[in-house]
Structure 1
Amino acid sequence: FLGYLRFLHCLGYLRFLHCLGYLRFLHLTLFLGYLSFLHLTEFLGYLRFLHCLGYLRFLRLTLFLGYLRFLHLTKFLGYLRFLHCLGYLRFLHLTLF
């Protein structure tokens, strides 16, 4: 009878340890899954953030380059007009002289 009680006690102890292990396993897998999910979503969000940053930089760069080209073109055209006006003034000055 005492042996039977010890056997039941050992079985109960083993079941208790098994349940604890199962709970720890569940807790660990849920925790790891949660970390993996967070890590994945954070990584994807980071990639999207970098992509958006790159897109913004690309837009800013293209706008800036377009602005520089526009300024360069207008300055160049203005310079040509200025030279043309100078030549016209010199021509007038020469003909008047």
Structure 2
Amino acid sequence: MSKTFKGETKSGFKFEISERRLNNYELLELIGEVDEGQGQVFPKVVKLLFGDEQAEAFKDHLREEDGIVPNDKMADEIKSVFESVNGLKKS
């Protein structure tokens, strides 16, 4: 059974990500594409990282009153997730 990392983003979203999800080459490929400016693959990063159900909950957590999920908030929170997981891996 794979290890699970539990954490919380800066805005208070509590998440669980399995080590197996993090150790996914396709996730790494997509992150590389995002870094190269291909932002259109970002939704796939979120789904591979969290899985469908948790990805939807994450979007709902960030959704504003007008129904919009701001790109900048999403990017900041994903960065927060990776920072949190990296901190958990080191402890």
TM, length-normalised to structure 2: 0.24
Q: Which has the higher strand share?
A: 2
Q: Which has the higher helix share?
A: 1
TM, length-normalised to structure 1: 0.23
